[in-house]
Amino acid sequence: MNSEIFPKVSEMSDLALARDIIDDTFGLSSGRRSVVIGLTIAALKRVERALGPDILGQRGRIWTERRVRSIVDLEARRIEHYEIEDLTKMRLAEARLEYQRSTERHARLAALLAAQHTDFHSDEADRLGQRSGRLGGARDCGAAR
């Protein structure tokens, strides 16, 4: 792991790093534990499907809800290198989705304001339009199409 990308790497175990990635991605809190486990396993299954059967065949196991739960609860005894890589890919994919949703929301809000009385909302619509333009589209960040 690169300590510039993950500044806490030298200070934490692989298990703590894996849990931190999950927390960073989905906002793990006491009331959201089961929701976060479900979101994480769904996202990891998408990452796994994108890998292909040849890579999956080289691994000792596939992602399961039980495995994710053991990471979230800090009970896993060992974290494999590919698991950290998959979690990192998951975080990147979720960031792309969040970015895409954000730009789409800004575009909808700008259109809504533009459709209203133009004299009253023109400043707000211009600011939202400029913000959406600066953010670019999902293609700018390399999101899957």
Q: Is the pLDDT of residue 45 over 70?
A: yes
How large is the C-alpha radius of gyration of the chain? Answer: 20
Bigger pLDDT: 142 or 48? 48
Q: Which residue has the higher pLDDT, 40 or 124?
A: 40
pLDDT at position 112 is 84
Residue that the structure tokens 């175990």 belong to: 13
**CA-to-CA distance for 50 and 80, rounded, in angstroms?**
19
End-to-end CA distance of the chain: 28
DSSP letter at 7 equals T
Distance CA 6, CA 127 (A): 34
Per-residue confidence (pLDDT) for residue 145, from 0 to 100:
36
